[in-house]
Structure 1
Amino acid sequence: MTLLHKTYGKGRVRVMRVHRDGDRHEVRELTVRAMLTGGFDRAFTHADNSTTVSTDTVKNVVYIVARESPTLPAEAFCRAVAQRLLDRYAMVETATVTGHETRWARLVVAGSPHPHAFTLDGNGRSTAEVVMSRDAATTVSGLSDFTFLKSTASGWANYVKDPYTTIRETDDRIAATSMDATWAWAREPADYEAANARIRDSLLAVFAGSYSHSLQDSLYRMGEAALAAVPEIETVTLACPNKHYLLADLAPFGLDNPNQVFVATDEPHGQIACTVGR
C-alpha cells in the first residue's frame, strides 16, 4: 500500500479586521481555509507528527497576518498568509489559502455615510402578514434576517458577576446582530412602502448614532424611535441575536490588539427580544 495524496490544514477561520482611520473605520470579514502539502507522509503512515505543523498554528498565522495587514483585499491577504506559511515552515511544499468575504456596506444615516456602522450586503427580506376574519383584519409588516453592525460605540458592563461569570467588562466592542422585526398597524398609512422605509431608517439611526450600553438598551430605544417616526403603528417587536466578534488574543505572539482583529462566531450567541408599544 502507498499513500497517493495527502493534505491538511484549517478551515472556517473567521476573522474580522477593523482599520481605524480616526473616526472612520473600515471592516473586512473573511472566512479562511488554509491547506498544506509537503513532508507530512509519516504523520499518516507511521503516527509520526515530528514534521507536522499543528492546525491551530495555521489558524494563528491567519490572525497574525490580519494584525499586520488590516487593509489588504482578500486576494492579497490570502497571498500573505500562504507566503508566511511557506517562509516559516520548510517542510511545507504548497499552501492553498481560500478566503470567502462577507461584504459589509457602509450605512447611510440622514443622507450621509456613517463612519463606523455597516449593513450586510444583499441584506434582509421584507415581510407582511394579514390575518382576516369576517369581522376584522390585522396587518403586520417587518424585516427578517436584517444584519448590521457597528465597529465601536458599544459596551457591556455592570452586569451580575458570580463564580460562573467569565466575560470581561468592556466599553468598546463590535455590536452586530441579524434582526427579525415586526410592527403591527393600528391603521393603514398613506403609503406602506414609504412608512416601512421610515421605520427601518429610524431603527438604524438609533443603532448607529448613539452609544449602546447593551443590545437590550439599543432595542428599546430603537422601538421608541420607530413608534415616533410612524404614528400609524401600534407596537414594534424586535428579536436580535448578539452576533459575537471576540477580540483575538495576540499576546502569545508579542503583538498587541487595539480592537483590530476579531474572531467571528455565531454560536453560541445571546438572544435578545422585546416589544415596545404606545
Structure 2
Amino acid sequence: MAREEHQLEGLNFEQRHGKARVRVARVWRDTKSGNHYMVEWNVSISLLSDCLNAYVRDDNSDIVATDTIKNTVYVKAKECTEQLSAEKFAVLLGTHFTSFYKQVTAAIVNIVEKPWERVLIDGQQHQHGFQLGSERHTTEAIVKKSGGLQLTSGVEALSVLKTTQSGFEGFVRDKYTALPETRERMLATEVTASWKYSYEYVSSIPQNPLYFTQRYLDVKKVLVNTFFGPPKGGVYSASVQSTLFQMAKAVINSFPDISAIRLKMPNIHFLPVNISSKDNSIVKFNDDVYLPTDEPHGSIEATLSRFWSKM
C-alpha cells in the first residue's frame, strides 16, 4: 500500500487526505444510433502528498483542497467524451493528481459503480431506459508519480443460490457439535470478490477504454458458471470452501492478466423447517420448506494468487 510517512519528533507520522463519496453520473449520447449510455459512480480519492507543514506549522500552502478534488472529478468526467470503464476513469484521475501537483506522490482512487442496466421492452433494448440491478462493480487504482500502478477490480453483493447439489459431511465433531451431516441442502451466498491485475505501470494497461468493463463481465460470468455448474444437473458442492476454491481457480486459469483474486462468501443458511406438535410427533417438510436466515451466518474467505503476486 502506498503511504506518505515522516519522522517527526522521534515518531512516525503517516497522513493522507482527499474526498470521499463524490457521486457522479455521466451520460453519452450516440447521435447515429440514438442510443444513450450512462454510468453512476461513487468516487473516493486519497492523496499522498508532501503537506507536512499543514499539520505541524499551520501552513496550508501545499494542501490540495478537498473541494478542488471533488470538482476535478466532475471536470474529468466532462472531458471523457467517449465511454470508458470505471478502472480507466480511476487511472485517469490518479494520473491527473500525481502529474498536476508536484507535492502529490501517489493517489488512491476507489470507485463503486451503481448497477444500472438497459431496459428490455418486448425483447428489444430501450434506447435511453435503464433499471437498477443488484451487484456492484468496484475498482481501486493506486497511481504513483513514477507511473507505477496497482489496479484491482471487484464485485459486491453478487447473490447466488442453488436448491440442491450441496452438502456438508466429515467435519470435526465434538461435544459442542449439533449440526447434522448432509448431502442435500440449499447453498446460498453473497459473493464479494476482488481481483488484482498484473499491469504495473499506467502505460501498460490496454488502450481499449471499455476493456475492463468487459473483463468485469467476463470474470463475473466465470464465477457464476463455476458456482452453478452445467444447466442440467449442475455440480456438487462438498462445502462453501470447496466451491470458493473452484471459483477462484477458474478465474486465475481463465484470465492471464489477473494475478490474484480474493473471495468472501458467507454461508447464508436456509434451515429445513420441522414442527413439533402437541403429541410430540414431528412434521418434517422433506427439503421443501425452509426458514431463510441472514444471521448468524458462516464466514468463509480466501485468496488465490500466482506465486509471484500478492493481493
Specify the TM-score bucket, using the shorter chain as the normaliser: 0.5 to 0.7
Match of residue 287, structure 2, among 251, 256, 259 = 259
1:123 aligns to what? 134
Aligned to 2:269: 244
Mapping 1:1-278, distance limit 5 Å: 122-135=133-146, 136-187=148-199, 188-189=205-206, 191-209=211-229, 210-250=235-275, 252=277, 255-278=283-306
Deviation string 1:97-130 (CA, Å, 9 cap, x unpaired) is: xxxxxxxxxxxxxxxxxxxxxxxx9321110110
Tell me the distance in 2 between the aligned counterparts of 1:258 and 1:222. Answer: 30
1:137 Cα offset (Å) = 1.1
Cα distance, 1:195 vs. partner?
A: 1.3
Deviation at 1:251, TM superposition (A): 5.5
| C-alpha contact (below 8 Å) 1:240/1:271 kept by paired residues | yes
| Displacement after TM superposition at 1:255 (Å) | 3.6
The Cα shift of 1:247 comes to 0.5
Q: Give the Cα separation in 1 of the matches to 2:166 and 2:305.
A: 25
Q: Deviations over 1:24-44 (max 9, x none)?
A: xxxxxxxxxxxxxxxxxxxxx
CA contact (8 A) 1:198 1:230 kept: no
Q: Structure 1 residue 254: deviation in Å?
A: 5.7
State how far apart, in whole Å, the 2-side matches of 1:211 and 1:247 are.
19
Distance (whole Å) between structure 1 residues aligned to residue 242 and residue 282 of structure 2? 37
Is contact 2:248–2:263 with CA below 8 Å preserved after alignment? yes
Q: Deviations over 1:37-68 (max 9, x none)?
A: xxxxxxxxxxxxxxxxxxxxxxxxxxxxxxxx
Q: What one-letter code is carried by the residue in structure 1 that aligns with 2:167?
A: G
**In structure 2, what is the Cα distance between the partners aligned to 1:254 and 1:183?**
47
**TM-score, reference length from structure 2:** 0.49
Q: CA deviation at 1:277?
A: 1.2
Question: For residues 184 and 226 of structure 2, what CA distance do their matches in structure 1 show?
Answer: 17
Q: Give, in whole Å, the separation in 1 of the partners of 2:190 and 2:133.
A: 13
Shift of 1:204: 0.8
Q: Distance in 2 between matches of 1:249 and 1:134?
A: 62
Q: Percent identity?
A: 32
Q: Which amino acid aligns with 2:263?
A: L
Task: Tell me which amino acid in the other structure corresponds to 1:231.
Answer: P
- Flag structure 1 segments of 5+ consecutive residues without an equivalent: 1-120
Please give the alpha-carbon distance, in whole angstroms, between the structure 2 residues aligned to 1:266 and 1:175: 13
Return closer, same or farther for 1:254/1:273 CA change in 2, 3 Å cut-off. closer
Count of matched residue positions in the alignment of Structure 1 and Structure 2:
158
1:174-232: per-residue Cα shift (whole Å, max 9, x none)?
Answer: 11111110000003355111111111111111110121111000001100111122111
User: 2:218 & 2:165 partners in 1: Cα distance?
Assistant: 23
Moved over 3 A (4+): 250-256
For residue 241 of structure 1, give the secondary structure of its aligned residue in structure 2.
coil
SS of the aligned residue for 1:274 comes to strand
* CA gap 1:160/1:142 in 2 versus in 1, 3 angstroms: same
Alignment-mate amino acid for residue 241 of structure 2: Q
Runs of 5+ consecutive residues of structure 2 not aligned to the other structure: 1-131, 200-204, 230-234, 307-311
CA contact (8 A) 1:215 1:242 kept: yes
Shift of 1:258: 1.8
User: Does the 8 Å CA contact 2:274/2:282 hold for their aligned counterparts?
Assistant: no
Q: Shift of the alpha carbon at 1:245?
A: 0.5
